[in-house]
Amino acid sequence: MTAPIVGAAIRRKEDFRFVTGNGHYTDDINRPGQAYAYFLRSPHAHAKIKSLNVEAARSAKGVVGVLTGKDLAADKIGGLICGWTIHSKDGSPMKAGAHPALAVDTVRYVGDHIAVVIADSPALARDAAEKIEVDYDLLPAVTTPDKAQGSDAPQLHAEAPRNTVYQWELGNKKETDAAFKSPAHVVKLKLTNNRLIPNAMEPRAAIGEYDQGTGAYTLYVTSQNPHVARLVMSAFIGIAPEHKLRVVAPDVGGGFGSKIFIYAEEVVCTWASKKVGRPVKWTAERSESFLSDAHGRDHVTEAEMALDAQGKMLGFRIKTIANMGAYLSTFASSVPTYLYGTLLSGQYALPAVYVEVDAVYTNTAPVDAYRGAGRPEATYLVERIVEEAARQLKMDPAELRRKNFVRTFPHQTPVIMNYDAGDYEASLDEALKLIDYKGFPARKVEAQKRGKLRGLGFSTYIEACGLAPSAAVGSLGAGVGLWESAEVRVTPTGQVEVFTGAHSHGQGHETTFAQLVAGRFGIPLENVEIIHGDTNSVQFGMGTYGSRTAVGMTALVKALEKVEAKAKRIAAHVLEASAADIVLENGEFKVAGTDRKLAFHELALNAYTGHKFPTHEIEPGLKESAFWDPLNFTFPAGCHICEVEIDPETGVTKIVAFVAVDDFGKVINPMIVEGQVHGGVAQGIGQAMLEHGVYDPESGQLLTGSYMDYTMPRADDLPSYKVGLTETPCPSNPLGMKGCGEAGAIASPPAVINAVTDAIGIKEFEMPATPERVWRAINSTKHKSAAE
């Protein structure tokens, strides 16, 4: 008997092609006769287009076509949509402005699409685009959420007065207000959650192709969810009916949310392929990615927490303004609402929580889900204010948390979520051990002797992922269900093909899904193929985001159960036994208690020959599918602790230790889970210390439009992490697993900033902790103590 394959650190099946340069990314695909698109983008943050003259470009060398918003409108191609309707507290639906794929009369951010030039080469398309004449009437711009609602702020969309998309609320307001009547302590904090630019290493790309013979389109695209792309482009944008539109998302070089959304470029390339009669290919240059990929976060928040004299949390009140950018991206509206407000109870038994969120338009790139999506914003807020409460109450931050942990499950929070399982103390204790919490005071003193400031910060986080029960999200305004599907095909010679609606762009599905199959049927991993990312092969699926692989994997388990049940019925006939007596052991179907058996491949062949069972009772073949709608979110939780050392002379902050202890329930492949934690934490540290998407407040120009100014985490910016796992199985799925993809990015930023503020001895501090900001913060405390 070999070691169980499920739960083992199996090396990835997909790696061979990637390490040998044989991956197939969208830009690696060339279609016969393809032409190349270049998008003319607005150089201005806000302007009326007085006139647009494309004639010179049309006759330029190598040009196949030049298309504008008027051409789109003439063909009745609809605008881009936001698929989640949020209602304001007064009951009115959100106020969304139109979002044409190519601007018609107004541009609203730098990078907004104006026209597409299609030519024989990318360089010729760009050469020709320079010949397009645009006459702009410049308008003032607003870029930050705190300024967007001002009476003097420029209005972006007539539909949304004061640039306000919605004013949303969640929680028990009355109880919350009561909690603030006369508490022993009130802790207040103003926070900014900095704008981030996702920067998957593979830039977005699209190839549209039209087949004149069949009237069908094919779109090759860098997508995390090809079926959703097809659905939206068909049902809402009107490119073609679904059966005449194939969407292929081949190997995708990272997504982090940014490749969930349906973008202008892929719509235009698909539509244009018919217009120009050639496949149309577009690959973003990185500077275009900076301008036009949906950005993440960008909140300003004021929050207060009420506590009693002993440090018991009584109530939590929050007011947030969320920047949506110039248009509502595909899922933008859900991020600062149901993915944010619902997590504001944290790991704590908080009796009263009330949150208000205003979502606003600004002259910036659209903001949508980025790794964590709403939950990092919630966690940053909760964990910063809890740490601040401990400081204000002069309590140990670990002990204040311990005092308030939820300890009985299921636990209903005041903000929708029903936590199904967890042990927050276990992960806290493990993290305290790994960081050597007891040794910290000595390390601080030792650092002081070297002229350095040491600080330590906690984050005991919870998140909700595995999106999501369809009826629940539907009742909250989602335009789609969030189940997942899988189809299992056993070949006559006994290999297994799995068709999943989940999409792998780094998560290792080709290995972990195969582990489930191999583990159940006892066949070698090499005999399992995982197929995803093509609407022509896979039945349907919602794609991968929101750490929802548990949903896709459960769908696979359900399909495998069906295959096994049918296989046992067939085996019973072949082995002349009762189906109830057939057991599956080590890859063999056996009659229990006898030596009669069929190897998996023998069973498969029998299923397809149909010689030995009544095919009028049992259909020949061995292929089953399942759709699985999750019963609840999954609730990964844990404790991250960061220890920093600051050079007070320069403000340079070094992370000297970072501990991440997470409870992901049952783990299928610990190597892959650990890799997800590493990557998530790196992005969280990036947000806390390095990354910041900045627009010039006057001109609306993106000041961080390349790696020259947007600080991507590099290898020498980051420490080696100490990673630990605790386990409370998730009761809501048969595998007992929880999502692990986003936890690192959700948990880590407050741990880092709590450590930085601890080292400096300061309360308010904005991410990212750049050297200058830290240096200034240190100086401000010096001036303060001098004044005292």
Partner 1 sequence: MYQFNYLRPKSLDEAKKLYENNGDAKFLAGGQTLIPTLKQRLAQPTALIDIGGIAGLAGIKVAGGAIVIGAGTRHNDVAISADVKKSIPALAHLASHIGDPAVRHMGTLGGSIANNDPAADYPSAVLALGADIKTTSRTIKADDFFTGMFETALDEGEIVTEVSFPIPEKAAYMKFPNPASRYAMVGVFVAKTKGGVRVAVTGAASCVYRESAMEAALAKAFTPDAVANIKVSPGNLNSDLHGSAEYRAHLVTVMAKRAVAAAT
Partner 2 sequence: MPGVSMTVNGKAVSGEVEARTLLVHFLRENLRLTGTHVGCDTSQCGACVVHVNGKAVKSCTMLALQADGAQVTTIEGLAKNGELHPVQAAFKEHHGLQCGFCTPGMIMTAVDMIRRLPDLDETTIRQQLEGNLCRCTGYQNIVKAIHAASLEMKGARA
Chain residues 680-709 in contact with partner 2, contact rule CB under 8 A: 680-683, 706-708
Between 194 and 224, whose beta carbon lies closer to partner 2?
224
- Tokens, residue 171: 């929680």
Q: Which residue in 363, 507, 632, 754 binds partner 2 (CB under 8 A)?
A: 507
Between 488 and 642, whose beta carbon lies closer to partner 2?
642
Residue 652 binds partner 2, judged by CB under 8 A: no
With CB under 8 A, what is the number of residues at the site for partner 2? 58
Site string for partner 2, 112-151 (x = CB under 8 A): -----------x----------------------------
Residue 370 binds partner 2, judged by CB under 8 A: no
Smallest distance from partner 2 to CB 287, Å: 6
Between 11 and 784, whose beta carbon lies closer to partner 2?
11
Q: Which residue in 120, 391, 704, 764 binds partner 1 (CB under 8 A)?
A: 704
**Half-sphere exposure of residue 571, counting CA atoms within 13 Å on the CB side?**
27
Whole-Å CA distances, 732 to 414, 503, 633, 635, 711: 21, 22, 8, 10, 40
User: Which DSSP state fits 495?
Assistant: -
Between 504 and 653, whose beta carbon lies closer to partner 1?
653
Q: Among residues 617, 658, 654, 621, which one has the least CA distance to residue 747? A: 658
Contact criterion met (CB below 8 Å) for 323 and 301: no
Stretch that binds partner 2, among 140-148, 396-404, 611-619, 673-681 (CB under 8 A): 673-681
Tell me the three state secondary structure of residue 280: strand
Q: Which residue in 522, 587, 610, 679 binds partner 2 (CB under 8 A)?
A: 679
What is the rounded distance in angstroms from the CA atom of residue 721 to the CA atom of residue 398? Answer: 20
Smallest distance from partner 1 to CB 769, Å: 11
Between 55 and 649, whose beta carbon lies closer to partner 1?
649
User: Which DSSP state fits 232?
Assistant: H
Tell me the three state secondary structure of residue 549: helix
Give the one entry of partner 1, partner 2, none that residue 16 binds, where binding means its C-beta sits below a cut-off of 5 to 8 angstroms depending on kind.
Answer: partner 2
Smallest distance from partner 1 to CB 767, Å: 14
Name the one residue in this structure whose structure tokens are 């051409």: 71
Residue 491 binds partner 1, judged by CB under 8 A: no
Contact criterion met (CB below 8 Å) for 589 and 603: yes
Stretch that binds partner 1, among 178-186, 207-215, 709-717, 741-749 (CB under 8 A): 709-717
Give the one entry of partner 2, partner 1, none that residue 48 binds, where binding means its C-beta sits below a cut-off of 5 to 8 angstroms depending on kind.
Answer: none
DSSP-H helix ranges across 504-626: 509-521, 549-574, 600-609
Over its C-alpha atoms, the chain yields an Rg (Å, rounded) of 28
Chain residues 175-234 in contact with partner 2, contact rule CB under 8 A: 199-203
Residue 699 binds partner 1, judged by CB under 8 A: no
Smallest distance from partner 1 to CB 650, Å: 6
Residue 694 binds partner 1, judged by CB under 8 A: yes
Q: Which residue in 71, 112, 127, 293 binds partner 1 (CB under 8 A)?
A: 127
| Dihedral angle sign, alpha carbons of residues 195, 107, 148, 699 | positive
Residue 139, beta-bridge partner list: none
Name the one residue in this structure whose structure tokens are 């998530």: 680
Q: What are phi and psi of 68, to 5 degrees?
A: -130, 180
Give the one entry of partner 2, partner 1, none that residue 448 binds, where binding means its C-beta sits below a cut-off of 5 to 8 angstroms depending on kind.
Answer: none
Q: Which residue in 6, 7, 8, 23 binds partner 2 (CB under 8 A)?
A: 23
The CB density around residue 698, as the number of other CB atoms within 10 Å, is: 10
Whole-Å CA distances, 498 to 13, 385, 529, 630: 14, 46, 6, 20
Smallest distance from partner 2 to CB 740, Å: 13
Residue 18 binds partner 1, judged by CB under 8 A: no
Give the one entry of partner 1, partner 2, none that residue 751 binds, where binding means its C-beta sits below a cut-off of 5 to 8 angstroms depending on kind.
Answer: none
Residue 416 binds partner 1, judged by CB under 8 A: no
Between 621 and 679, whose beta carbon lies closer to partner 2?
679
What is the rounded distance in angstroms from the CA atom of residue 639 to the CA atom of residue 207? Answer: 43
Q: Which residue in 708, 720, 785, 788 binds partner 1 (CB under 8 A)?
A: 708
Between 761 and 771, whose beta carbon lies closer to partner 1?
771
Q: Among residues 551, 573, 571, which one has the least CA distance to residue 563? A: 571
Contact criterion met (CB below 8 Å) for 612 and 606: yes
- Tokens, residue 634: 């999954």
Chain residues 716-755 in contact with partner 1, contact rule CB under 8 A: 717
The CB density around residue 630, as the number of other CB atoms within 10 Å, is: 23
Contact criterion met (CB below 8 Å) for 641 and 435: yes
Residue 424 binds partner 1, judged by CB under 8 A: no
Q: What are phi and psi of 410, to 5 degrees?
A: -70, 150
Residue 75 binds partner 2, judged by CB under 8 A: no
Question: Would you report the helix, strand and coil content of the chain in percent, each value rounded to 5?
Answer: 30, 25, 45
- Tokens, residue 512: 């972990």
Stretch that binds partner 2, among 89-97, 674-682, 752-760, 769-777 (CB under 8 A): 674-682
Residue 709 binds partner 1, judged by CB under 8 A: yes
Give the one entry of partner 2, partner 1, none that residue 711 binds, where binding means its C-beta sits below a cut-off of 5 to 8 angstroms depending on kind.
Answer: partner 1
Q: Which residue in 133, 399, 649, 698 binds partner 1 (CB under 8 A)?
A: 649
Between 564 and 645, whose beta carbon lies closer to partner 2?
645
Q: What are phi and psi of 449, to 5 degrees?
A: -60, -30
For the CA atoms of 720, 722, 727, 730, the dihedral, rounded to the nearest 10 degrees, stands at -30
Stretch that binds partner 1, among 52-60, 451-459, 585-593, 708-716 (CB under 8 A): 708-716
What is the rounded distance in angstroms from the CA atom of residue 439 to the CA atom of residue 757? Answer: 19
Residue type, 319: K
Q: Which residue in 1, 3, 20, 182 binds partner 2 (CB under 8 A)?
A: 20
Q: Which residue in 74, 580, 715, 786 binds partner 2 (CB under 8 A)?
A: 715
Residue 254 binds partner 2, judged by CB under 8 A: yes
Q: Among residues 355, 357, 333, 296, which one has the least CA distance to residue 94? A: 333
Q: Which residue in 1, 2, 4, 21 binds partner 2 (CB under 8 A)?
A: 21
- Tokens, residue 686: 């990036």
| Dihedral angle sign, alpha carbons of residues 224, 327, 319, 295 | positive
Give the one entry of partner 1, partner 2, none that residue 704 binds, where binding means its C-beta sits below a cut-off of 5 to 8 angstroms depending on kind.
Answer: partner 1
What is the rounded distance in angstroms from the CA atom of residue 353 to the CA atom of residue 337? Answer: 14
Smallest distance from partner 1 to CB 772, Å: 5
Residue length of the chain: 788
Q: Which residue in 690, 725, 752, 778 binds partner 1 (CB under 8 A)?
A: 690
- Tokens, residue 210: 């039209």
Stretch that binds partner 1, among 318-326, 387-395, 501-509, 689-697 (CB under 8 A): 689-697
What is the rounded distance in angstroms from the CA atom of residue 524 to the CA atom of residue 664? Answer: 27
Contact criterion met (CB below 8 Å) for 746 and 461: yes
Whole-Å CA distances, 568 to 556, 561, 615, 723: 18, 10, 15, 42
Between 255 and 311, whose beta carbon lies closer to partner 2?
255
Residue 201 binds partner 1, judged by CB under 8 A: no
> CA angle, corner 195, sides to 744 and 262, nearest 5?
85
Residues that bind partner 1 (CB under 8 A): 123, 126-127, 287, 649-650, 690, 692, 694, 703-704, 707-712, 717, 770-772, 775-776
Residues that bind partner 2 (CB under 8 A): 11-12, 14-25, 27-28, 30, 123, 199-203, 251-254, 256, 283, 285-287, 505-508, 671-672, 674-675, 678-683, 706-708, 712-716, 718, 720-721, 744
